[in-house]
Amino acid sequence: MKIKIVLLIIAIIFGYTNAYAKTPKEAIDFFNKYTTYANNYDENLLDLYSPEAKIIREVVKPSGETVDVVVPTKRYFKELKIGQKTAKLRRYKNKYRNIIAQETPDGIKISAERQPTRENYWLKMYQIVQETDTGFKIKEEMMQTKVQTFLKHKDKGEE
């Protein structure tokens, strides 16, 4: 009888963990949702991020050198809300290609190339997403940018 109870408990635990197990295909579906929200200036975009997400902007200098700027989450959320209004007026959108999702120890890493509106170049980006009881959340995001003003925020904390 005890063995049946132990096996039942193991089956319940295994079934419970598998109920939340997400696949790279589901991560790409999540990324497509992210893209739709971002390109339609949907305020629900912020709900896709973990409150402690690590936001990295890899600034590509004119020389080709890159510099990582970590943007504090709180500031990123604040600036994104403001930036969405300007982006909507300018009809700014990103296109993505070569989208790949692969499992990592930290979650699922989604990598792609991003093309900003009215540009002919492609930039690297990735997101690391983790499953939660409410679905995927972005834990870390890196996007390359040629916007040099990000450099003035290097090594600055919350603002």
Q: How far apart are CA 48 and CA 28, in angstroms?
A: 13
**pTM, entire model:** 0.81
pLDDT band at 21 (very low <50, low <70, confident <90, very high): low
Check pLDDT > 80 for residue 64.
yes
In a domain, 83, yes or no: yes
In a domain, 129, yes or no: yes
User: Mind giving me the DSSP string for 58-85?
Assistant: EEE-TTS-EEEEEEPHHHHHHHHHHHHH
In a domain, 72, yes or no: yes
Q: What is the domain-level CATH number for residue 29? A: 3.10.450.50
Q: Which residue, 13, 40, 31, is CA-closest to 96?
A: 31
In a domain, 71, yes or no: yes
Q: Which residue, 79, 64, 39, 42, is CA-closest to 123?
A: 64
The number of distinct structural domains making up the chain is 1
In a domain, 140, yes or no: yes
Q: Are 71 and 57 in contact (CB under 8 A)?
A: yes
What average pLDDT does this structure show over 46-67? 94
Instruction: Give pLDDT, residue 2.
Output: 61
In a domain, 93, yes or no: yes
Check pLDDT > 70 for residue 42.
yes
For 89-136, what is each residue's pLDDT tens digit? 889 999 999 999 999 999 999 999 999 999 999 999 999 999 999 899
- What's the distance, CA 101 to chain centroid? 12
Q: Which residue, 135, 119, 107, 104, is CA-closest to 33?
A: 135
Over pLDDT 90: what percentage of the chain?
A: 65
In a domain, 54, yes or no: yes
In a domain, 158, yes or no: no
Q: Quote the domain boundaries for residue 118.
A: 22-153
